[in-house]
Structure 1
């Protein structure tokens, strides 16, 4: 086979991504933990992040983002500081506890998937690695929040800013359907 239809490829990517997300949900457990992990991953990606930018990255309303960040702050997972460029605005960064929570849950997900990838041949693993790199590059180039971020963040960035995923708000009650961090 010399080529694959791009629409078919995207369709398969969506299906595999959904299955992988459901598998991670089963591993991590309750929806609240998943919402927390997703939020921590967004803070990690953009830190220090203002509420509006967090809301864009999390795909939520600004009031919902404000409430979620306040809960994360109360739990000791994020730190709120005044913005150095606008004293009226707050920005958020992960605390050590927040970084540790993300790392622990990512380790659980890795443990679940690693045996499968170990069973692949080196060529197959390289193919997966190349494919993931291409998808990651596409998302970096096309994700509107990330494009805006590059323009805004010419200043030095704090350590630890990776991860991209999507989230959809389900109801006005603040519950969300999330993908793993």
Structure 2
């Protein structure tokens, strides 16, 4: 007889997700960039053009740090700044094709590596992970919504 399902332990979830996140971030990559650089590129690839002040909030770094990072990424041809057509006073940062290529390449590398890791699991473990994907996807969406509500809460003049 199978054991009854137990309630989800948030401490266990945080521990496992932390270990998984650290391992995922450290997967070998042909593209050598800092975590913050990759995070900015992934954010822009997924969300589209953003103001520097919004990137500051999503990336959880200081205004001087995000400004310096965006300037370096722009110099390296990975992002570009363009006027915000909705507000001529503002500038939006958008990912370039070179930046998008880094995101795509990294995704392809992760898929390849995860395929290898999944093959090492038992059929039961693969089924359990597959069954958990919708819930994990929902949690990620909730975290993203929470982060975006923080972005909207920051008055533009204060960021």
Separation (CA, whole Å) in 2 of partners of 1:146 and 1:140: 10
Gaps of 5+ in 1: 151-181
Instruction: Quote the offset at 1:18 in angstroms.
Output: 4.5
Rg (Cα) greater in structure: 2
User: Which has more helix, going by share of residues?
Assistant: 2
TM-score (norm 1): 0.68
Structure 2 match to 1:88? 89
1:145/1:119 Cα in 2 relative to 1: closer, same or farther (>3 Å)? same
Q: Structure 2: how far apart are the matches of 1:10 and 1:145? A: 20
1:141/1:147 contact within 8 Å kept: no
Count of equivalent residues: 149
Query: 2:54 aligns to what?
Result: 53
Aligned residue for 2:135, secondary structure, equals: helix
Indicate the larger mover: 50-59 or 2-11.
Answer: 2-11
Matches within 5 A, 1:31-180: 32-120=33-121, 124-143=125-144, 144-147=146-149
Q: 1:130 to 1:54 in 2, by over 3 A?
A: farther
Q: Report Cα offsets for 1:70-93 as digits up to 9, x if no partner.
A: 111111111211111211111112
Measured at CA, do residues 125 and 70 of structure 1 come closer, stay the same or move farther in structure 2, by a change above 3 Å? same
CA separation of 1:46 and 1:148: change in aligned 2, threshold 3 A: farther
Q: Which residue of 1 aligns with 2:156?
A: none
SS of residue in 2 equivalent to 1:49: coil
Provide the residue aligned with 2:155 in structure 1: none
SS of residue in 1 equivalent to 2:85: coil
Which gives a bigger RCO, structure 1 or 2 (Cα 8 Å, sep 6+)?
A: 1
Alignment of 1:20 onto 2:9? no
Deviations 1:15-57 (A, max 9, x none): 4324424642xx1389744332222012222211111111111
SS at match of 1:28: coil
